[in-house]
Structure 1
């Protein structure tokens, strides 16, 4: 395994800071933040406003931390995907999945750089790309690993997580449960690909599937 591949895996592990800082930023809210109702993007809102989505005030004092965290996570996801090729099987499925992870990471970077309330168009565009493309990327990289003897179980977990995320995306778009469940469906749709990158970054360097 090359040093580049190890660096890529390390970048993927750094995506974990995304989740740590979600809790840190959430803790600074005066109005209780709900993982079931509130959008993830509310943590990065640059101004205070009353949200029609959750019918409560959105005010995130540490919104800059969220923006930086999401931007870093996107760059780590994209950069890692460019470097970890040797850790995956040398198949078209794996290459396509990794390419889509680059797109996902860049889209997440757009989300982080553009708050939902001050740059709504770019923010939404980034999210619209990041979530579904990330799910397909996870599905393809999971399928690639599932076809190996070493990482069959991990690959199947990735495939299953991708399917669950896709179902959640459909439920979110269909507004099942209305605003009361928006945050829940969004998290189930968006988080798995980031957790997948962290898991692969930790596991694959121990026994590269590409060799």
Structure 2
């Protein structure tokens, strides 16, 4: 028996199986593109660190240090820190685009397991926080920059952890590990001021694995599509 698959789209129009496949392909491409933008941000960090002075310390220095707009000395509880990042414009632009990409991941959340509902909301919160960090560099207003960065430290690993609950196997297991480790690192960074000597390491334990997981899920995760009706 030959079956034609049709469903009802927006405004009551009939959608064929082929149209559904095209929509799924477009969503997959959009998700993967947003996730790859986040990975591109890691590359920008690595390149910018080569121009940073004094020598960039991946354990101690944070991404925000790469975004300072002037050669300056910032004072914190453990002393004065000299910062000079000639590539700051690229870093801040990358952070801004990355924040928009996080929000973009959530715009297709309704059709994508792992980026929908509360996980999608968490991606939006993390994206807005990242965008705000780019717009208010650390040397412009240290207090405001620190304040707007707080949501990212919690919302991003939370988004990954909640999203991973939609999956079993490698995707689900990896996401739960990435989310749990990221949440632990974020809470440690927020609650223990003495740990800021390792702030760069902890921050990247939150960000980099989450970005990699987002690429993995975007490329291979389950896309949700309305069920198509089989008509004899």
User: Once structures 1 and 2 are overlaid, which stretch shifts more, 45-54 or 55-64?
Assistant: 45-54
Counterpart residue number, 1:185: 202
Distance 1:203 1:52 in 2: 45
Which of the residues 136, 141, 152 maps onto 1:119? 141
Distance 2:37 2:202 in 1: 24
Which of the residues 116, 121, 124 maps onto 1:102? 124
Distance 1:132 1:100 in 2: 9
Greater strand percent: which structure?
Answer: 2
Distance 2:148 2:137 in 1: 11
Confirm whether residue 81 of structure 1 aligns to residue 92 of structure 2.
no
Q: Which has the larger radius of gyration?
A: 2
Structure with the bigger RCO (C-alpha within 8 Å, sep 6+) is 1
Unaligned runs of 5+ in 1: 147-151
Cα displacement (A) at 1:38:
1.1
Does the 8 Å contact 2:38/2:98 carry over to 1? yes
Q: Deviations along 1:29-69, whole A, 9 cap, x unmatched?
A: 23100011112210001122223457441111111110000
Instruction: Check 1:69–1:143 CA distance in 2 against 1; reply closer, same or farther (3 A cut).
Output: same
TM-score w.r.t. the length of structure 1 is 0.84
- Aligned ranges for residues 31-50 of structure 1 at < 5 Å? 31-50=54-73
Unaligned runs of 5+ in 2: 1-23, 226-232
Distance 1:39 1:71 in 2: 16
